[in-house]
Chains A and B, each alone.
Chain A
Amino acid sequence: MPEQNARIEQADILFTDEQGQLMEIAQSFSANKSPIASVRQQMTADGSIERDLWAEIAALGWLGVAIPEEYGGSGLGLGEVVSIVEPMGRNLFSSPLIATTLAAQVILAVGDDDQKSQWLPQLAGGSIAALALSEAHGDWDLSNLTCTATVDGDSLRLGGGKTFVTDAGLADLFVLSVAMDGAPALLLVEASDLPDGALRREVVIDETRRSYGLNLDGLSVPRANLLTGGDASACLKSLHLATCLLYAAEMCGGTAGVINVTLEYLTTRRQFDHFIGAYQALKHPMVDALTGLDAARSHLYHAATIFEFGTDRSGQGGHGSRDEVAVRMAKAQAADAFAFASDRAIQFHGAFGFTYECDAQLFRRRALWCEQQHGDSQHHRKHLAGLLL
């Protein structure tokens, strides 16, 4: 049993039976439910996913993978979620799974008992959550907050605006970051509390995403919606890294997907009497794409093995910044690999690659979004330099 050997060695990469099973199911599910024709069809719909399909995902138990059993989940971790997200990314499957999963992690980390018992079973069961973290300044630092919450009796008065709130149109619940008395705070906002017109669709580069701006001005929510069970700043940091981890998974999947799209063309398209994949000018960069992906997947599963979503990132037990290093490397490497593979995919399709009809652009747009959200490679390398040098 390779897993057991790995365990004995306390290896940098562990891959459990559960992960293997989840990955297998997610692979066939994504391939069946999200063929490229469906992806394109869904791009013009209001939500990134149909409700029926979301219900199937909930029925598979994927939304509760990282939620403890006492709250209706299966008590695994984000490492297991990685092995679901990667195959989804491969098929450009779009859904609020990442946001919903991470919202649950936030509630687990800094919610009180009432909030946990109210929301976690719902999120495990199919309610949709959206993360409202980014702001108009575009700074990847999630603690750079201009949105505010002010206590007003039993209420909180909110102000400011959030951006890049994906699938806000489908969401039942929002996890929101604000500045409160100058310090970061996290709170929950129910979709039913939002006034008409609070959400505004954004036109974004990845057309498989449904992104919204959220206007908080004039909005008032119960003070009990605040998440006060832990350090909000540390939770935001964990949330940032967890998003990077799952984006890295999505990007690794996407890289494999776009390599396959390109290989299909290189082995069927003939020019000058040869399949074009026989030309070394195309073959060699495909090998570069593959080695880039291999490195990305290795970083990814290492990060998946050691990442812990917690509010204490100060370095207890020597864990320290080790998982932060792993996650940042995983995101940076995956972004570079996906950028290269999808950029070359367009080029290697020749004139067809220049058309909207060619699928290469779908992957390239996905790659750009994933790199541009939550820190590009250079940004992560800069933070890694601080951690390593």
Chain B
Amino acid sequence: MSISPQEKAEFQAEVSAWFTENRPADPGYLLPQSFMEVGTDQQFDFLRTWQRKVYDAGYLGMAWPKEYGGGGKDQAFQDIATAEMVAQKVPFMTNTIGLSWAGPLILNMGPDAQKEAYIKRILSAEDIWCQGFSEPDHGSDLGNAQLRAVRDGDEFVLNGSKIWTSLGSYADFMILLARSNTETNTKYEGLSYFLIPMKIPGIDPVPIKKLTGEFGFTQTFFDNVRVPDSCLIGEEGKGWQVAMKTLTFERAVSGGQAGGVHSMQVSTDEVVEMARHAMRDGHPAIEDAIVRDQLVAFMMEERGLDLNNQRDKIPGLASEWPGSIAMARKLTNSEWRRRLNQFAMTLQGANASRYVGDDGAIDGGRWQRGYFNAFSGTIGGGTSQVQKNIVGERVLGLPKSE
């Protein structure tokens, strides 16, 4: 089913007008750059209210089933709305884990009861979701999860801790990977996957201060936490498969996400603007031959990443190494973003040394903070180095690294 060009154009105009009209005013403090940087109640309340407003207007979850609170429309509508959010640089949808990972997962494999309980509240930001995958001793090695889930009748008792829980202080629910059986042949077999409430006895999210000086993550401790076995998604002991499914949503290898913008977008256009004002040897930096060369290289790279997404949808042009664009997307985008932020700092001359909180910091110091925070992209969800192993092995067919 596809929609006509006229329908598209009409919707485009409608959504463009709505966001122009309703975009929130600058709150007067630096907003976080993604759901991983929400560090104050003020920021959280602002973003949650904004997501609710976008959902109420009908521009989120447009292609999700109507009976669970979605729009029941063609995905093309959501794509247009999302693109408009990106273009207008409106604040991001803070419930990223719910909208992009947990929601599609529940819709894909959850029982009706879970869909009815969670989907609408994910869209409306009534329920904020977080993710319990990484553990203090096992970051990228997800299969080694050690948080224990011991069955006791029709309940599980959870003990251990998870780390790098984005929105851990605010979340209402968590997708959790835990070890329910320690006597298995491989580490992957003893895992189970749960959807658990966060605000119950025994769960203690302890904020972690990041390299930027902000908060946003927690280490989340579980002390004899009791949850009913109806919290399982997928079969007991089959949690690894559910986790892998989740990662396909997280890395956008699979579609089905609710849509919406999910981080403060950066673009080379902004850096070009900066180069017009920055000075080099008494002249605007944009006149410097080396700066120009670097700017163009970033623009080419940005354009290439954008065009990749379009080419990936054309089977005749994406069949040689299937999945190469999708599987490498997190790697290529996050590395580009880190380098762009770094380059933006270099344009500021000596003022590059100013940081968030200094009156003279260019753009409030957001490039400095952006550079540091960009590491969340190159490390979180599997480091770039792990991504390269994955692409090398699954796409290029190279032997597994020891």
Chain A positions near chain B (C-beta within 8 angstroms) = 2-3, 5-6, 8-9, 11-13, 15, 19-20, 23, 256, 259, 263, 266-267, 274-275, 277-280, 283-284, 286-287, 290-291, 294-299, 301-302, 329, 332-333, 378, 381-382, 384-385, 388-389
Are A384 and B296 within 8 A (Cβ)? yes
Question: From residue 322 to 344 of chain B, which have CB atoms closer than 8 A to chain A?
Answer: 324-325, 328, 331-332
Kindly report which residue of chain B lies nearest to residue A8, judged by CB atoms: B5
Stretch from B55-63, B227-235, B384-392 at the A interface: B384-392
Are B397 and A267 within 8 A (Cβ)? yes
Are A23 and B316 within 8 A (Cβ)? yes
Known: A279-B401, A381-B297. 9 other contacts (CB 8 A): A13-B307, A20-B316, A256-B320, A263-B398, A278-B398, A294-B325, A329-B300, A384-B299, A385-B292
Are B311 and A13 within 8 A (Cβ)? yes
Are B324 and A290 within 8 A (Cβ)? yes
How does the 8 Å CB contact mask read for B275-311 relative to A, with 1 for contact and 0 for none? 1000000000010010011011101110111011011
Are B396 and A278 within 8 A (Cβ)? no
Taking CB atoms, residues of chain B closer than 8 Å to A294 are 304, 308, 311, 324-325, 328
Q: In the complex, which of the residues B293, B300, B317 contacts A15, with contact meaning CB atoms closer than 8 Å? A: B317
CB distance from A188 to the nearest CB of B (A): 36
- Given A8-B2, A283-B389, A283-B392, residue A291 in contact with residue B316 (CB < 8 A): no
Are B2 and A2 within 8 A (Cβ)? no
CB distance from B310 to the nearest CB of A (A): 5
Q: In the complex, which of the residues B310, B316, B321 contacts A19, with contact meaning CB atoms closer than 8 Å? A: B316
CB distance from B205 to the nearest CB of A (A): 35
CB distance from A6 to the nearest CB of B (A): 7
CB distance from A365 to the nearest CB of B (A): 23
Chain B at the A interface: SS class: helix
**Interface residue range, chain B:** 35 or more
Q: In the assembly, what is the distance between CA of A301 and CA of B313, in Å?
A: 13
Taking CB atoms, residues of chain A closer than 8 Å to B289 are 382
CB distance from A163 to the nearest CB of B (A): 28
Question: From residue 360 to 391 of chain B, which have CB atoms closer than 8 A to chain A?
Answer: 385, 388-389, 391
Q: In the assembly, what is the distance between CA of A329 and CA of B307, in Å?
A: 12
Q: In the complex, which of the residues A287, A329, A333 contacts B388, with contact meaning CB atoms closer than 8 Å? A: A287
Taking CB atoms, residues of chain B closer than 8 Å to A267 are 397-399
Taking CB atoms, residues of chain A closer than 8 Å to B25 are none
Are B398 and A298 within 8 A (Cβ)? no
Are A381 and B293 within 8 A (Cβ)? yes
Q: In the complex, which of the residues A286, A332, A389 contacts B272, with contact meaning CB atoms closer than 8 Å? A: A389
Are B391 and A287 within 8 A (Cβ)? yes
- Given A294-B328, A298-B307, residue A275 in contact with residue B399 (CB < 8 A): yes
Taking CB atoms, residues of chain B closer than 8 Å to A3 are 314
Are B399 and A286 within 8 A (Cβ)? no
Are A291 and B332 within 8 A (Cβ)? yes
Q: List 15 A-B contacts (CB under 8 A).
A: A9-B8, A263-B398, A266-B398, A274-B402, A277-B392, A283-B388, A283-B392, A283-B393, A284-B388, A284-B392, A286-B392, A290-B395, A291-B331, A302-B310, A332-B300
- Given A291-B331, A329-B300, A333-B300, residue A301 in contact with residue B398 (CB < 8 A): no
Are A385 and B296 within 8 A (Cβ)? yes
- Given A278-B400, A286-B396, residue A6 in contact with residue B391 (CB < 8 A): no
Q: Does B201 contact A (CB under 8 A)?
A: no
Taking CB atoms, residues of chain A closer than 8 Å to B321 are 290
Q: In the assembly, what is the distance between CA of A151 and CA of B286, in Å?
A: 47
Q: Does B315 contact A (CB under 8 A)?
A: yes
Taking CB atoms, residues of chain B closer than 8 Å to A301 are 307, 311, 314, 317
Taking CB atoms, residues of chain B closer than 8 Å to A290 are 321, 324, 328, 391, 395-396
CB distance from B344 to the nearest CB of A (A): 15
Taking CB atoms, residues of chain A closer than 8 Å to B328 are 287, 290-291, 294
Q: In the assembly, what is the distance between CA of A382 and CA of B292, in Å?
A: 8
Q: In the complex, which of the residues A11, A23, A287, A332 contacts B392, with contact meaning CB atoms closer than 8 Å? A: A287
Are B398 and A283 within 8 A (Cβ)? yes
- Given A13-B311, A19-B316, residue A389 in contact with residue B293 (CB < 8 A): no
Q: In the assembly, what is the distance between CA of A328 and CA of B217, in Å?
A: 44
Are A298 and B324 within 8 A (Cβ)? no
CB distance from A378 to the nearest CB of B (A): 7
